[in-house]
Amino acid sequence: MSHVWLPCGDYHQTYEEDQGWWQTTFIKTKMVLLLLVVFVGIPQFLDDYWISVGTMVGYTAMGALGVQLLIGYAGLITLGHAAFIAVGAYTSTLMVLQVPWPQFMIDWGLAYPVSILAAAVTAGIWSVLFGLPSAKVKGFYLILTTMAAQFITVDFILTQYVSQIGGRGQAFSLPPGTIKIGPWIIDTETEVYYTMAVLITLMVIVLANLLRSKAGRAWVAIRDNDIAAEALGINIVWYKLLAFFVAGAMAGVAGAFWVSNTAALSPEHFPWFWSLWLVGVILIGGVGSIHGAVFGSIFMVVVMELLQMAVIPLSIYYPKLLMDFAFIKDMAFGLAICAFLIYEPNGLAYRWWQIKNYFNLWPFSY
């Protein structure tokens, strides 16, 4: 049976059809167009400034995916996710700069890809260590535990000890040509953007498939009612720690990617406010939705860039505005959170779902 539209007048006949990602020709066309826009349109038709904005959107989404998994799907509130991004970034940097790689690894550009995998594993394990209290506590107490991860990891271990390795002071310098994947040296805005686009695509594929698996169903059951989930035989401690590991691993990949986008790595790149920012991203985008992490990232990054573009002309008449832009940005962040919680509590992903349903159910969209 040829599938054209769903759900009006067309029905799945096999489990494979029911669980398919791209279930209709219409959806396949949309996804192909999306891939063309991401991998061809943006890098080919925008200047370096807007390409860098796109890169920042992707980096924010990469960080928000882990937060979305913990808060949106597993019901584990976290306010220290920037710590695990920092662990990934420093793991990747140390491996690239300090490990005496065999010459063929350097010639073939394998050091950085291997460091990304190592960053994912290291950040995942580090995340599990701070997820252990989730076996006994939840809610407000878990928030304090994850906040402790930020202060212990970034403010103490990374700042006072790891940053001092090699006698570099507070920052690790990344000379041009250091970050290399195969024969390609990642040293331009476009190349950094392509690296981000590939990594975020792979992360979305992995997370989406995990959520359709036994682990994903267990996470949702724990989120909805952990006591009932345990009564049904779900090992809630194991699945909570698995959620922390996966979220930490994704944060590690995000941190390893950030290494390619900066000339020098410093603990200042991972303040506690960045953890709070990522939570705001999923609140605005929509909790419990992969789309929410992406939409929230687009909204927050693009709106802040537009706000800065609006402030620059006004700074001619009010110079203090530009100097105080960091505070204006924080104020806009707070106002956006309040506005969405009041007027759009389900986030942008819910609005997108409604728009899709309107067209999918047409002409019976009422």
Q: Rounded CA gap, 299 and 324, in Å?
A: 22
For 116-174, the pLDDT digits (tens) are: 999 999 999 999 999 999 888 888 888 888 999 999 999 999 988 888 776 656 678 88
Lowest mean pLDDT among 215-224, 231-240, 326-335: 326-335
Does 150 share its domain with 110? yes
Q: Are 248 and 127 in contact (CB under 8 A)?
A: yes
In a domain, 16, yes or no: no
Domain that holds residue 29: 1-8+22-45
Going by C-alpha positions, the residue among 75, 85, 83 that lies closest to residue 229 is: 75
Stated length of the chain = 366
Q: With beta carbons less than 8 A apart as the criterion, state whether 283 and 347 touch.
A: yes
**Residue 321, in any domain of the structure:** no
Listed residue (228, 227, 217) closest to 74, CA to CA: 217
> 14 lies in a domain?
no
- Tell me, yes or no, whether 3 lies in a domain: yes
- Note whether residue 363 is domain-resident: no
Residues 28 and 53 in one domain: no
Mean pLDDT score, 37-41: 93
To the nearest 5 percent, what fractions of the chain are helix, strand and coil?
Answer: 75, 0, 25
Same domain, 110 and 204: yes
Examine the domain organization and report whether 33 and 112 are in the same domain. no
Structure confidence at residue 104 as a pLDDT band (50, 70, 90): confident
Q: Which of 7-16, 107-116, 246-255, 356-365 has the lowest mean pLDDT?
A: 7-16
Q: Are residues 94 and 227 in the same domain?
A: yes
Residue 266 domain flag? yes
Contact predicate 178/97, CB 8 Å = yes
Band of pLDDT at residue 225, cut at 50, 70 and 90: very high
How many H-runs (helices) and E-runs (strands) does the chain carry? 18, 4
Cis? peptide before 43, omega within 30° of 0: no
What is d(CA 179, CA 266) in angstroms, rounded to the nearest whole number?
Answer: 17
How many domains is the chain partitioned into structurally? Answer: 2
pLDDT at 304: 92
29 and 72 assigned to the same domain:
no
Q: Indicate whether 244 and 261 sit together in one domain.
A: yes
> Has residue 122 been placed in a domain?
yes
Q: What is the pLDDT of residue 358?
A: 80
Same domain? For 221 and 165 the reply is yes
Q: What is the pLDDT of residue 58?
A: 96
> Are 39 and 165 contained in the same domain?
no
Per-residue pLDDT band for 366 (boundaries 50, 70, 90) equals: low
Are 108 and 257 within one domain?
Answer: yes
pLDDT number for residue 8: 56
Is 124 exposed, middle or buried, given 0-12, 13-18 or 19+ CB atoms closer than 10 A? buried
Domain edge (last residue) among 272, 296, 317: 272
| Residue 342 lies inside a defined structural domain of this protein | no
Q: Does residue 238 carry a pLDDT above 90?
A: yes
Tens-digit pLDDT profile for residues 264-295? 888 899 999 999 999 999 999 999 999 999 99
